[in-house]
Amino acid sequence: MPTLRYLTADTALTLDGDTVLEAAASTREAEHAAVRAEVARVLAWCHAQQPQGHGPRDEGGRWHHDLHTGTEPGGWHSVHLTITGDPGFIEALLQAFFPTDTD
């Protein structure tokens, strides 16, 4: 699976033992559709991996997401995608879309 061109990601652990992935991009209007397509690819992968698992973690869901988009000064478009899940799920997501170069 090809890596993403626009979205960048950071992760953090919660006190509950979950992992939170924060993916974001800020682009000009011309690239905004491409960013939205990347978000759709990531979410489609998540749904394919855990089709019955989407929902709030505190209600038993395996993973949950939150998506915010907006327009910033100067005509920039921002996208922020937060995905919370168990560490194994988020690690597989990172491997699929945000691999690190070990060379």
CATH number for position 41: 3.30.1360
CB distance 35 to 6 below 8 Å:
yes
Residue 44 lies in a domain: yes
Residue 61, pLDDT above cutoff 60 = yes
Question: 74-103 pLDDT, tens per residue?
Answer: 989 999 999 999 999 999 999 999 887 544
Residue 25 lies in a domain: yes
Would residue 57 count as lying in a domain?
yes
Considering the domain boundaries, does residue 40 fall inside one? yes
Burial grade of 47 (CB within 10 A; 0-12, 13-18, 19 or more): middle
Can you give the pLDDT at residue 32?
95
Residue 77 bridge partners (DSSP): 27, 71
| pLDDT confidence of residue 52 | 87
pLDDT of residue 100: 76
pLDDT at 1 over 90: no
| Total of domains in the chain | 1
| pLDDT value, residue 103 | 47
Q: Are 1 and 92 in contact (CB under 8 A)?
A: no
